[in-house]
């Protein structure tokens, strides 16, 4: 497995498997201040044409980013992080929640002024399909 | 119908948003981020940080409420109830720490209408109390035309 110190193009980061539950969505709503009811009310989600309550896109982005920050070890080393939200993560009202599987791959490593920066492609899969598009983080590699 | 005359404009800077340690801890817990740099002040300081380090997407806690307030303003004419988040970009000029006092300026960068949808790009420039840049975020927001 790759370490940040000797990262090279093509390296795979340690993957993450996590379950997002309704309780996680409620906790994230409070922490983030995003109280849009499509993230906690089946009734409102249905009225909006959704199959059920869905996770906040920013929550999916945040948990997917852990594959990068867990690996590099310091959130302050992240220079940029971007994604498209391509599919919703539908979170059932049960004890298991929605399984999201996250992987990261070193897309390239560049060096300028003695600082090595890795570009990490991040993938997040729910229900067999990718839910983030072109998710990419740039991180400074520790020396 | 959103008011296109807003495009190219920026809103007055909002702030200061005081970054609290407990807010960083609460946010880290909510996203399951176990980094001690976001939880344990002694560990953060020993690693050379002035205070707790916020997780990368923490800026949403103060940018999104400002964006929501703008989009709910009837003058702009946006249907907030049918909005979805299309994409999000965050660029860091430095990390956000506990104790930071941050000011956010929303810029209305682009508004397009295509295939029955309005697509709006809002950029937030985040600066510290000294006026130094901290982060630039860009959100693509989509609602039915």
Cβ of A75 within 8 Å of Cβ of B37? The answer is yes
Cβ of A69 within 8 Å of Cβ of B55? The answer is yes
Task: Give me the pLDDT at residue B67, please.
Answer: 95
Residue B26 belongs to a domain: no
On chain A, the residues whose CB falls within 8 A of the CB of B94 are: 76
When divided into structural domains, chain A yields a total of: 1
Domain residue limits at A120 = 4-140
Residue B65 belongs to a domain: yes
Element (H, E) at A19: strand A16-20
Residue B36 belongs to a domain: no
Q: What is the CATH number of the domain that holds A68?
A: 3.10.129.10
SS (H, E, C) chain B: CCCHHHCCCECCCEEEEECCHHHHHHHHHHCCCCCHHHCCHHHHHHCCCCCCECCHHHHHHHHHHHHHHHHCCCCCCCCHHHCEEEEEEEEECCCCECCCEEEEEEEEEEEEEECCEEEEEEEEEEEECCCCEEEEEEEEEEEEC
Task: Give me the pLDDT at residue B80, please.
Answer: 84
Domain residue limits at B83 = 4-19+55-144
Q: Answer whether B63's CB lies under 8 Å from B121's CB.
A: no
Q: Answer whether A37's CB lies under 8 Å from B69's CB.
A: no
Residue B60 belongs to a domain: yes
pLDDT in tens, B38-69: 999 999 999 999 999 999 999 999 999 999 99
- For residues A89 and A131, give the distance between their C-alpha atoms in angstroms, rounded to a whole number: 7
Q: Can you tell me whether residue A108 is helix, strand or coil?
A: strand
Residue B48 belongs to a domain: no
Q: Does A85 touch chain B (CB under 8 A)?
A: yes
Cβ of A62 within 8 Å of Cβ of B86? The answer is no
The position carrying tokens 């994604």 is: A83
Residue B38 belongs to a domain: no
Q: What is the CATH number of the domain that holds B136?
A: 3.10.129.10
Quote ipTM for the complex.
0.96
Number of Cβ atoms within 10 Å of the Cβ of A136: 17
Name the stretches of chain A with pLDDT < 70: 1
When divided into structural domains, chain B yields a total of: 1
Q: Can you tell me whether residue A23 is helix, strand or coil?
A: helix
pLDDT in tens, B123-142: 999 999 999 999 999 999 99
* Distance in Å, alpha carbon of B11 to nearest chain A alpha carbon: 21
Cβ of A74 within 8 Å of Cβ of B89? The answer is no
pLDDT in tens, B82-132: 788 999 999 999 999 999 999 999 999 999 999 899 999 999 999 999 999
Please give the structure tokens belonging to residue A14. Answer: 């340690």
- For residues A24 and B13, give the distance between their C-alpha atoms in angstroms, rounded to a whole number: 32
* Residue B77 CA to its chain's centroid (Å): 21
- Name which of A91, A100, A141 is nearest A119 in CA terms: A141
Residue B107 belongs to a domain: yes
What contacts A56, CB < 8 A, 6 or more positions away? A25, A28, A29, A32, A34, A36, A39
Residue B114 belongs to a domain: yes
């Amino acid at each position: 497995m790759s370490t940040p110190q000797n990262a090279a193009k093509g390296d795979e980061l340690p993957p993450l498997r996590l379950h997002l539950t309704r309780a996680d969505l409620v906790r994230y709503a409070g922490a983030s201040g995003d109280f849009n009811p499509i993230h906690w009310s089946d009734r409102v989600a249905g009225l909006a044409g959704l199959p059920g309550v869905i996770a906040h896109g920013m929550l999916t982005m945040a948990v997917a980013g852990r594959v990068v920050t867990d690996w590099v070890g310091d959130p302050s080393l992240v220079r940029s992080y971007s994604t498209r939200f391509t599919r919703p993560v539908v979170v059932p009202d049960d004890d298991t929640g929605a399984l999201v599987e996250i992987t990261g791959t070193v897309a390239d490593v560049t060096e300028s002024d003695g600082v090595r920066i890795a570009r990490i492609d991040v993938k997040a899969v729910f229900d067999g399909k990718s839910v983030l598009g072109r998710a990419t983080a740039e991180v400074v590699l520790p020396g | 119908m959103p008011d296109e005359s807003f495009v190219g404009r920026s809103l007055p800077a909002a702030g200061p948003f005081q970054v609290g340690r407990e807010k960083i801890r609460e946010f880290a817990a909510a996203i399951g981020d176990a980094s001690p740099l976001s939880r344990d002040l002694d560990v953060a300081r020993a690693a050379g940080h002035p205070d707790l380090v916020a997780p990368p997407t923490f800026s949403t806690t103060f940018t999104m409420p400002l964006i929501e307030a703008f989009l709910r303003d009837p003058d702009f004419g946006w249907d907030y109830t049918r909005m979805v988040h299309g994409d999000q970009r965050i660029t860091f000029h430095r990390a956000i720490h506990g104790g930071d006092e941050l000011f956010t300026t929303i810029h209305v960068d682009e508004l397009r209408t295509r295939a029955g949808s309005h697509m709006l790009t809002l950029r937030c420039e985040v600066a510290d109390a000294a006026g130094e840049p901290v982060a630039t975020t860009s959100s693509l927001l989509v609602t039915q035309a």
